[in-house]
Amino acid sequence: MIEKATDKFSAGEQGLGYIYQARLALLQLLQFQEDTSLYLEKDDDLDFIDVQGGKSLASLKHKAIGERLTDLSTDFWKSVNIWLARYKRDGRATSNLRFFLFTTGLVASDSFLTRFLPHQSVTTDDLKTLTELADAALASSTSKIIAPIAVAFDELSDSEKQDFLERILILDSSPRISDIPMLIQDKCMRSIRREHRQFVFERLEGWWTDIVIQQLTGTKQEGIFGYEVSDKLSSFAEEYKADNLPITFRGKAPSNEIDTDADPRLFVAQLREIGISSSRIRNAILDYYRAFEQRSAWARENLLVLGEVEKYEDRLTDEWGRYKDFAFEKLKDDSPEEALREAGSTLYAWAEFDTGQIESLRIRARVTEPYILRGSFHILADATPEPRIYWHPRFLDRLGKVLGVSS
């Protein structure tokens, strides 16, 4: 195995810790009661508040594989230092605080910290109290980091020390950052088809990252509630059902600047030919981009049935042909250009504004996002060597001239 090179100035581990904080918070919030709220970087790494107002403060430690917690591990005592300050602030024994240490490391079997692990029952061999064990550990320390923590701990009475320590739970061997996505998919997405879970998770984590940033920057002042996560997960899951498809390009724009006058594509040339304004052409370019990229995303995720897009385009082409006949039926061979443009503009307006109300023109029953339909018309209008649909009644006759090549 090739060992990873390390650099004392590298911030990689610290950066990993921040990502771990957000991911573990998501995993835990999905497993708590839905009325539980979460704050990041408030009193501790994570603060969980239940509906009764009980607060659980969580410290997170993402450690190297094989690391162990011993009696004097600074990971534990630094967390204790934070918790002591909150415990004293909130009324000591009358406070409603609990304390959690999530660590990917393992508590050493010979450490008194094993007493803080879940389901650890005190036996007759455990003659010493938690207070006595903690006092003994602190007394044996020569660490300058731990020394002031020992002083702060000693400010508590013996009964307060015991009360404080009994509120602590260490969750060792916690999932590593790379394990969390699969845990969420396995534990929280069982109602979602297995082949879709990864994509649903990616969308959920994208939304989660945004809402975490909002809280950390102060845009979102209130806590993040478990029901918000549940609702968002349900919303994403609904998009992966048989009569629906996920919409992920709403509001997106191409990286290149949009130039409505110089864009050489056929569907844009068609719109210029009927005198569509620059602002509407810009909207058409956005619809084309979003629909094209959305189809590509669906294909990558294997969400489309074989031949589904082709059949959908056939439906659009057929419906376009019917309305074209209506829009053009009063035109004559010698109709002036103004009448030709007006007829083409009427046909395009139908495609742009009216077709969204026709349920049979949806690719699937619950896919109602306008850019899918509008963009699909533009994709058909951009087909080569000849567009499958057109707006100007004489566009096919002028195709060579419009594109500057022979038809």
Q: Tell me the per-residue pLDDT of 197-215, one tens digit each, with 9 for 90 and over.
A: 999 999 999 999 999 999 9
| Strand pairing category for 37-40 and 46-49 | antiparallel
- Residue 324 pLDDT: 98
Select from 267, 298, 275 the least CA-distant residue to 377.
Answer: 267
- Residue 405 pLDDT: 43
Select from 390, 399, 370, 268 the least CA-distant residue to 320.
Answer: 390
Residue whose entry in the numeric block shows the structure tokens 């659980």: 56
Select from 311, 346, 21, 400 the least CA-distant residue to 174.
Answer: 21
pLDDT in tens, 114-152: 999 998 766 545 679 999 999 999 999 999 999 999 999
- Residue 406 pLDDT: 36
The alpha-helical segments, DSSP class H, found in 98-146 are 130-139
Please determine, for residue 4, whether its predicted confidence score (pLDDT) is greater than 60. Answer: no
- Residue 188 pLDDT: 93
* CA gap 181, 216 in Å, rounded: 22
For the chain, the maximum distance between any two Cα atoms, rounded to a whole number of angstroms, is 107
Mean pLDDT score, 334-345: 97
Sheet holding 224-225, edge to edge: 168-171, 97-103, 55-61, 46-49, 37-40, 224-225
Taking the CA of residue 71 as centre, how many other CA atoms within 13 Å lie in the half-sphere pointing to its CB? 16
* CA gap 1, 261 in Å, rounded: 57
* Lowest-confidence pick of 7-16, 86-95, 316-325, 329-338: 7-16
Token output for 394: 């004489």
pTM of the full predicted structure?
Answer: 0.82
* Segments making up each domain of the chain, as ranges: 12-188, 266-403
* CA gap 227, 239 in Å, rounded: 19
Q: Are 276 and 374 in contact (CB under 8 A)?
A: no
Query: What rounded mean pLDDT belongs to the chain?
Result: 93
- Hey, is 173 helix, strand or coil? coil
pLDDT in tens, 39-79: 999 999 999 999 999 999 999 999 999 999 999 999 999 99
- Residue 187 pLDDT: 93
Please determine, for residue 32, whether its predicted confidence score (pLDDT) is greater than 50. Answer: yes
User: What dihedral angle (degrees, nearest 10) is formed by the CA atoms of 393, 396, 399, 402?
Assistant: 10
pLDDT in tens, 220-230: 999 999 999 99
- Residue 13 pLDDT: 58
Confidence class for position 12, pLDDT limits 50, 70, 90: low
* CA gap 251, 144 in Å, rounded: 54
Burial 145-156 (b: 16+ CB within 10 A, else e): ebeebbeebeeb
Q: Are 83 and 124 in contact (CB under 8 A)?
A: no
Please determine, for residue 404, whether its predicted confidence score (pLDDT) is greater than 70. Answer: no
- Residue 93 pLDDT: 97
| Strand pairing category for 168-171 and 97-103 | parallel
- Residue 5 pLDDT: 46
Q: From the centroid of its chain, how far is CA 58?
A: 23
Q: Are 55 and 43 in contact (CB under 8 A)?
A: yes
Evaluated on CA atoms 206, 209, 214, 217, the torsion sign reads negative
Please determine, for residue 158, whether its predicted confidence score (pLDDT) is greater than 70. Answer: yes
Please determine, for residue 2, whether its predicted confidence score (pLDDT) is greater than 90. Answer: no
- Residue 398 pLDDT: 86
Mean pLDDT score, 322-351: 97
Amino acid at 342: E
| Strand pairing category for 46-49 and 68-69 | unpaired
Q: Are 333 and 259 in contact (CB under 8 A)?
A: no
